[in-house]
Amino acid sequence: MRTMFFHWVVAAVVPLGLSQVSCDHRSKSGHDLELLTHSPWKYEKAGFDSDEDGVFDALDPSIAGCEVGNTVVFKPDGTGSLQSGLIKCKVSDPDSLPFIWAFSNNDSSIYFQDQYYKVRALDKDHFEIYADESLGESKTRYTIIFRH
């Protein structure tokens, strides 16, 4: 009798527990996917923070300059495009550049611009990612901040 009860508990409870775990993962991915893809993002700023105090030591000159008006469109299918703003860096630059992207590690990381970034914040108005990089013997954190 005990063995039969044990098998019943295992047969009933384990699949239920596994379905809850997988539903939580899909729910999180779906929510973050919706936040990321529901409208285009604009660069707010990007730069380097070598002491990780949350203050940029140096801004990325391309984003502080001509790319500041660009928009970034993330599509639900894992593709996207960088759309030029009113001011192009070079007149010959295309109006749009395609890219691929993907969430990983339960949406805590994103592959974007041929690099993996950690997601610091993602809500309806703010998207912030960062990557720790080595520049010679020194290390720095490169952060990109987007807004709608």
Q: Is 7 left (phi over 0), alpha (psi -120 to 50) or beta?
A: alpha
Residue 22: what pLDDT? Answer: 36
Q: Is the pLDDT of residue 3 over 70?
A: no
| More reliable by pLDDT, 125 or 69 | 125
Cβ(32)–Cβ(74) under 8 Å?
A: no
Q: Among the ranges 3-7, 48-52, 67-71, 111-115, which has the highest mean pLDDT value? A: 111-115
Residue 66: what pLDDT? Answer: 73
Q: Any idea which architecture 2-147 has in CATH?
A: Beta Barrel (2.40)
Residue 64: what pLDDT? Answer: 67
Q: Is the pLDDT of residue 136 over 70?
A: yes
Burial class (CB in 10 A: 0-12, 13-18, 19+), 40: middle
pLDDT band at residue 4 under the 50/70/90 scheme: very low
- pLDDT single digits (tens) 46-98: 999 988 888 999 998 877 677 777 899 999 999 999 998 877 778 888 899 99
- pLDDT single digits (tens) 13-54: 333 333 333 333 333 557 899 999 999 999 999 999 988 888
Residue 50: what pLDDT? Answer: 87
Q: Transcribe 57-91 into DSSP letters.
A: SEE-HHHHTGGGG-EEEE-TTSEEEEEP-SS-SST
Tokens 């993907």, residue located: 102
